[in-house]
Amino acid sequence: MHPIRILQVFTTMGRGGAESMIMNYYRHMDRSKVQFDFIVHRNQSAAFDDEIKALGGSIYYLPEINPLFPKQYYQELRTFFKTHNQYNIVHSHINTFSSFPLKIAKEFGIETRIAHAHIAMDPIDLKSTFKSKSSIIEALKKL
């Protein structure tokens, strides 16, 4: 029996709080039943990369998301999911940008899609934050 494959989406796998939390789960779970792979958006080595590979996970590097020009990122994701169709779950940790990978995951029939924000507020002004989060919530409702 193959393990359930969960694709974790992060900016990078540095030693941040969300990254450390996921790695704690990854170290202690039964990897014969559940396996994590990772999409990251910086093509550079980070703190947990070697450990992820040692635990049996893969790391895929995609370009950073440019919200003004999302078509290139959508195309990169479509190409990724065409060649990596083994995922049962996509768990995105990229805060206000989680709708980008989750939308494409839906196109490829991945039924379980999780948007997970680990911060209380984005580092921009309050009015813009509420506008942004409202539009993201509306977009996620359509998924």
- pTM for this entry: 0.81
89 band by pLDDT with thresholds 50, 70 and 90: very high
From CA 105, how far away is CA 88, in angstroms rounded? 10
Distance CA 142, CA 59 (A): 29
What is d(CA 139, CA 69) in angstroms, rounded to the nearest whole number? 17
Residue 16 predicted with pLDDT over 60:
yes
Per residue in 113-128, pLDDT tens? 999 876 665 555 555 5
Domains of the chain: 4-141 (3.40.50.2000)
Is residue 46 very low, low, confident or very high in pLDDT (cuts 50, 70, 90)? confident
User: What's the mean per-residue pLDDT of the chain?
Assistant: 85
Q: Are 78 and 104 in contact (CB under 8 A)?
A: yes
